[in-house]
Chains A and B, each alone.
Chain A
């Protein structure tokens, strides 16, 4: 498919991120199978009364420790959480980072690009690790007082309220920002690191309630991850707007997918028609067909 130079540039960054995301999803599913047993989706197995409580409530015992043995050690569980949370981030957020990473790569000296990508990623991940720990603590506290079902409903309501708020819109608007980046020395390192931190903070500010959902859901944790990922991805296409209270349902993704599907069908049809035209020319058949997509 013919594409623009800018689109080729975006694809150059997006493809490796998609591959990483797929790998992270696979690893996450494997971890959950080990944690929950039975079903790769982590759905409640038979007799799973204890398994129905939220991940947050059980994280100490649920997440596999290094070496594969369940442990009540806070350290091994915290490490386990950090690892699992990082995998979640890579799986869910990875593809969404392509515009920011493209900015870093394009605006950095070629010899510093790998370093810049590492610095940006460290800043971004750092915010999410700290934020994730706070979310987990919050969810854990709430889980001790509320039944899982009530907790899930409460979190979803908070998410819907936040989704409509001007504060969230402000975070979302600034999420598109790409600041200038110094080219040399420590200043270049600090600028990229700061960009990662700020981008992470705005990302966190945009979607923190939704990231609580997979933490508080008991069974179906992975299903929750999938649904939240789709929501975040769909929301990515919404344009910046003036911050205000409004009902905000992502809809633009439908048009974009429809357009991509239509473009693909047109491209395939065009190749078939051109092949037919060439064949008819070779065989001497005089058949005239219009090639779709050609400018008038």
Chain B
């Protein structure tokens, strides 16, 4: 069984796993664009934009383009804003790992080589792994893992994941899939459209954020995004794969953290695509091989031949709803009830919204979300019920709750902030969201009001009128249950809620990002 290990705990900067990875990457980079196991071909599977690739030197007039059939079969395949986000990327990693392993073996390396992962949540491990930051490497010449178009959160080439911007709140998600106003851990069933606009909880945080923080934009100019910042170039950065290995690891960790954290059981998820004629998940393998898979084929790591050395998310707050079942029977019951809850349509209702769109430029934007009095009372009642079910409130002792309560979602009032129709051109224009600040308060002085943060990965594509989304942009959802619960307890929850958007770096007026609407929803009985 191959073991994917933490890149920071391999023993040294150029330990075997990472050195062989670099050699495998170098071998892939030497292959032509139309070679299905080449670096650029694999990058294009995630996404390709001819203009960006040409500008960055990844596409030239002498490149042989694959045939139209090959392009339509393989390229621009990545699944985002959809409940297929996690299973597709798992298969993508499996196939990529096999391609690299084959290159490693051909160079005399170990046959059990595995892709490392980057756990940026672990203390002292948020900086870009040194093997990627160095321009040189032990084999001499330019380090294949180094990328010039990697600018970091400040746009100056110093690359690290700013820990104050990322979190593991997604690990508290009760269900894998939900609806567009409350998308769940893994994302929404978009039906047959495959052009979803709402990112699931794990995709929003930390996936999108790490893309934006690592890629950044040169000198914070959104017209010069780093490779990781844009879905059409992200697959070209060698760190992409270690980042997604961590996302994959977090999915497995979520599955194992509670008996009710089950994957969807709907046939349309397990058995996508419904017919061979419809574009499904297919990836090239070494020796002209092809890997066709469905989500049901990638649910068991053991069946895929790998495991992780550590499934601890690290740095996550204690999940609110986790209760260890006392017996296997209770675990089974919790699992089945969890599956029942997971498949039910959640009751999600609008509580209030801003008066209109919120343009974000400069260093801050403010909006007032007006709450409907009746819905606000219903929300407050739901939060009060949740406090009674969980003594001490959301962060209190949960020992009085049973696995059945957890699975059934008892006392499961949730409050969700929706940022709808976010449009703009700057995928690296990340921002923090503060809720309930007093009038005139400085957000930096009130970390307790930080609701979450958004990195609009894929924003440019979603804002194109000629694109899949018809130019409507993206939707993001932040769970603000705890924050609103505190405001309610402190009697600071009125009929108007202050929302502040604070960009990581000031946004120039010409690069303005617009939030179509800020709305608050409740999910509960």
A binding-site residues for B, Cβ under 8 Å: 1-10, 12, 106-111, 170, 173-184, 187, 237, 239-240, 242-243, 252, 254-256, 258-260, 262-263, 266-267, 293, 295-296
Contacts and interface: CB of A to CB of B under 8 A. Distances in A.
Contacts of B352: 183
Interface string B348-361: 11101101110000
A6 B420 contact: no
B275 A258 contact: yes
B516 A179 contact: yes
Contacts of B343: 2-5, 8
A100 B69 CA distance: 34
A176 B355 contact: no
Contacts, number: 166
Interface in B280-309: 296-297, 299-300, 303
A262 B270 CA distance: 13
Given A4-B264, A110-B375, A111-B374, A240 B353 contact: no
Which of A106, A111, A259 has the most chain B CB within a 10 Å cutoff?
A: A259
Nearest to A267: B267
B425 interface: no
B274 interface: yes
Contacts of A181: 517
Nearest to A6: B189
A182 B179 contact: no
A262 B275 contact: yes
B468 A240 contact: yes
A219 B372 CA distance: 55
Interface SS of B by simple majority:
loop
A255 B466 contact: no
B263 interface: yes
A183 B372 CA distance: 9
B421 interface: yes
Given A173-B470, A174-B470, 7 more contacts: A3-B266, A183-B350, A183-B352, A242-B467, A259-B274, A267-B267, A296-B300
A2 B265 contact: yes
Given A5-B345, A7-B266, A240 B195 contact: yes
B129 interface: no
Nearest to B357: A180
Given A2-B265, A7-B189, A259 B273 contact: yes
Given A7-B191, A180-B517, A293 B267 contact: yes
A12 B517 CA distance: 25
A184 B297 CA distance: 47
B267 A173 contact: no
B277 A255 contact: yes
B348 A106 contact: yes
B261 to A, nearest CB: 14
Contacts of A7: 189, 191, 266, 268
B300 A6 contact: no
Interface in B323-347: 342-346
Given A180-B420, A183-B370, A262-B274, A240 B467 contact: yes
B179 A2 contact: no
Given A6-B178, A254-B277, A296 B297 contact: yes
Contacts of B349: 109-110
14 contacts: A6-B180, A6-B190, A6-B191, A9-B345, A175-B470, A176-B195, A183-B370, A184-B370, A237-B192, A240-B470, A252-B278, A259-B278, A293-B271, A295-B299
A4 B278 contact: no
A247 to B, nearest CB: 15
A14 B76 CA distance: 31
B49 interface: no
A9 B191 CA distance: 11
Contact of A6 (B179, B375, B516, B517): B179
B520 to A, nearest CB: 9
B377 to A, nearest CB: 13
B296 A2 contact: no
A296 B465 contact: no
B175 interface: yes
A106 B175 contact: no
Given A4-B189, A177-B471, A266-B267, A109 B350 contact: yes
B468 A258 contact: no
B169 interface: no
Contact of A4 (B83, B194, B472): B83
B189 A182 contact: no
B62 interface: no
Contacts of A175: 470
